[in-house]
Amino acid sequence: MTFEVSNMVLALPEMFMLAMACVILLAVAFLGKQGANAAYGLSQLTLAITAILIYQSLGETGLTFDGTYVKDAFSDVLKMAICLINIAVLLYSTTYLKARDLFKGEYYVLAIFSTLGMMIMVSAAHFLTIYLGLELMSLCMYAMVAMHRDSFIATEAAMKYFILGALASGMLLYGMSIIYGVTGNLSIATVAEVVQAGGLDNTVLSFGIVFLVIGIGFKMGAVPFHMWLPDVYQGAPTAVTLFIAAAPKVAAFAMAIRLLVEGLGDAQLYWQDMLIMLSVLSMIIGNVVAIAQTNIKRMLAYSTISHIGFILLGLISGSPEGYAASMFYALVYSLMSMGGFGMIILLSRQGFEADNIDDYKGLSKRNPWYALMMLILMFSMAGIPPLIGFYAKLTVIKSIVDVNLISIAIVAVLMSVIGAFYYLRIIKVMYFDTPEQHQALEAPIDMRLMISANALAVLMLGIFPGSLLALCASVFPL
């Protein structure tokens, strides 16, 4: 391996983000309590410049760092999405953190380091690179969940997240070690070549794939590895829940593509049935249990589990169209989830968490515009046309119909109908119930504009979904 500029320039966005993360860390250390505003400004600047660097290098492809890092169209699109999503997430979060005396520079340091981990996962061309990116992302999020040290529920959520996350990471690493034992290599491209050539011990290979799927299932929040997700979503400060709910799901999807599709695509026979079980169980349990929830953060957690089931449908299909559909769904879900939790932050204020469904009673009378924004987001999550959530569900269901998995498609359609109930319940509460809260919304103009832009983007992408669908399809050529 040679450390030449030509080899390192492919990873320029990651190197810039790492350098800026260290600068932000030093700024927080030297400025103390006054460093939070500087950390926020530098974090937004870092994400924006990183997105620009990625955009300027679109079309360039290649391997570097001794074949452990890959730059391709897939990584460019997802890394750009991660940066843009986290710009909005940090903007939403700041209002919440300031109102609860949690506005500290450490939040932004952890957010940037976690984002760096996501980008490394997306561009990983080696099993260990994926693991390093995953741990960098996860360890930062464990600390973020525990930020509110005076909150017992946040501390409990952080402990559950850390313990189960460590267990899942161990499972993933064990699966990687078994794959290494069978193939003799940890490079994703080389593993794919060895698996394609055949002649391996299929029993040991399938055993290794089981552990990989367990690790992927946990990080995505699929049933039966979902037990951490509702508790963490409810227990963490809403700003942290927002961060966990959006971009990390894109990174987890990228990990699944790199490991299962690119590395073990010719072993689809071994992982397809496992993903079918994870997908069907996630759609059923996520949608059914969400109906019983009264806490909106917990309801959105089970909603996330059901959406993960839909994302897995495209992977099950084993076709480029299916992979593109899953990518489309992952990006759309992140946009919708970001808006949903952003609305919770918008309705919250100092001393009041708008995390119960009853807190949304009569919102249309208090503020008709933001009730409309919430309606758009909930309708989209329910998959009602012409919003973008409808096309996301339609594309993944079509991908499995195309490969004759009709029974799974029927389950997905039924679960979409059942899932619509709890989204429509929120709309009913907003428009037909008597308000229990009468205080005016307390939020700066930048957050109000971002919430509006977020919801309107869901509407406009639903009316004109072709460009985003074409972008995802271009990443997975036939």
Round to whole Å and give the CA distance between 243 and 232.
Answer: 12
Contact 391, 429 (CB under 8 A): no
Structure-token match 């946990």, residue found: 218
Round to whole Å and give the CA distance between 441 and 240.
Answer: 21
Domain boundaries defined on the chain:
5-475
368: Cα separation from own chain's centroid: 30
Question: Cβ contacts of residue 133 below 8 Å, gap of 6+?
Answer: 117, 118, 119, 120, 121, 122, 124, 251
Q: Can you name the residues that pair with 70 across neighbouring β-strands? A: 63
> What pLDDT was estimated at residue 197?
85
Retrieve residue 287's tokens: 């949608």
- Go through the chain and tell me how many residues it has: 478
Contact 144, 225 (CB under 8 A): no
The mean pLDDT value of the chain amounts to 89
Round to whole Å and give the CA distance between 3 and 19.
Answer: 17
> What pLDDT was estimated at residue 2?
52
> What pLDDT was estimated at residue 242?
92
Residue pLDDT, tens place only, 243-299? 999 899 999 999 999 999 988 888 888 888 999 999 999 999 999 999 988 889 999
Q: How far apart are the first and last CA of the chain?
A: 33
432: Cα separation from own chain's centroid: 33
Round to whole Å and give the CA distance between 316 and 39.
Answer: 42
> What pLDDT was estimated at residue 385?
87
Retrieve residue 224's tokens: 């039966």
Contact 113, 263 (CB under 8 A): no
> What pLDDT was estimated at residue 372?
92
Q: Which residues of the chain have pLDDT under 70?
A: 1-7, 350-351, 437-438, 440, 478
